[in-house]
Amino acid sequence: MAVSGPRHRRHGKEDFSIKIIQFDEKRLQFETAFLRKAISNMNSFQMNRTLIIVAAAFMMVDALRPNVHASDWLEFLGNNHQANANGAQLPKSLNQDKNVAWRVELPARGPAGPIIVGNRIIVTSSGGEGRQQDRMHVNCYSTETGEELWHHQFWATGRPFSHPTSANAAPTPASDGERVYAFFSSNDLVCLDLNGKMLWFRGLTYDYPKAANDVGMSSSPTIVGDVVVVQIENQGDSFVAGLNKLTGETVWRQPRLQSAAWASPIAYQVNGEPHVLLLGRDGATAYRARDGEIAFKMEGAGSTVSSAVNLGQQLLLPFDGLTLIDPSQISEGQPKVIWKSERLRPSNTSPVIDGTTAYLLSSRGVLTSCDLTDGSRGFQFRVDGSYWSTPVVANGYLYAFSQDGTGKVVKLGDEPEVVSEIAMEETILASPAVNETGLFVRTENALWKLTAE
């Protein structure tokens, strides 16, 4: 475990900030202990508000580097944001005695979902005194046993406050299979390798001190080509930025509407060119990943909470209700709209995809199906409960976890039914992660693994 960041005084209290550290290739074999010592000696450095990056640019050849698997769950709602885990061996019923493989207490709280890279599961949390959650945690556990593999702590450099139901650790981390990018509501972004070595740290509030909203931010980062994209949408310094995923340096930045939003950006490609799409109160905007150039902007009512979904050639947007577009066909600056339905309106959760069907779970527990070919509404089924966590679908079953900690298994079909429930009795706001061996559920203060018998 390491607490990272040089400490100095600001406004009468201790704080952490970090300057650039770079190592040339001749020093790539230095051990982590040397890096930690270098960081601890930074107290004498004069801090610069414009750039706070640690670029520990050593690329050690590590025999313990995990393999990347096709079943990795690399970002919020999994690859392509589809929340689909077909092929995974998940339980069709949930029971405390039979299906809980392990449960571990987390060092602090948060609604950030976990991600999975190989046999490692990574999750963030935050804590501190009262509402000031200035201690940020990144933990890594074995997916098989729940054993803690590493734990890093960092001090927030930005605003660490949030609504009582949320936390500084609200955004879900992301990974490219080699590195982990942990983002926090305080606009602190840390990059670590899969063995927990810190590669760089960026405190974006130093560049943009007014970047904050009243209740905290939760847009998760996404990796698009060579950049990690962060959506920082708020009433102050509102923007989207593409940061070099190897160094943390800003590649591009575009202003956004000065209004709070919590939806997460999604990556997609057009003719091999990586793009990223963002939703906000003023509509949906797509940017080219390498330079931030705007590909298109659709004006309208974009969701501020529910995120879009990448369907491959098409994008499903919580926009003016629910809208399916083809981003490869642009005419007069607008993408081709395949269909639009104002009757279908995702709320707190994001659409879940299974083949040609999308499932929408409302905040009040009403599950609605949608035919993706034409946007027609199918069944509506009451699951009951209050939901912030987006469910996952696998092998004809939907797994939903309500805010009060109740997990439900819904058998899908023309006449869906709840076939099993589990009372976890802990607050759940985070969306689960899945690999081929089980379902990983993050409650407010713990991480669970649920498996088939």
Q: Domain spans of the chain?
A: 2-450
| pLDDT for 81 | 87
- Which residues does 326 contact at the CB level (< 8 Å), separation at least 6? 313, 314, 315, 335, 336, 338
| pLDDT for 313 | 93
Whether the CB-CB separation of 181 and 245 falls below 8 Å is answered with yes
- The parts of the chain modelled with pLDDT lower than 70 are 1-70, 166
Share of residues in the chain with pLDDT > 70 (%): 84
| pLDDT for 69 | 55
- Return the residue matching tokens 């809980």: 100
| pLDDT for 65 | 34
Gap between the Cα atoms of 118 and 103, Å rounded: 19
| pLDDT for 41 | 39
Query: Domain spanning 2-450 has what CATH number?
Result: 2.130.10.10
Side-chain-facing half-sphere of 99: CA atoms under 13 Å: 22
| pLDDT for 325 | 98
| Mean pLDDT, the chain, integer | 85
- Which residues does 37 contact at the CB level (< 8 Å), separation at least 6? none
Query: Which pTM value belongs to this model?
Result: 0.85
Gap between the Cα atoms of 296 and 318, Å rounded: 16
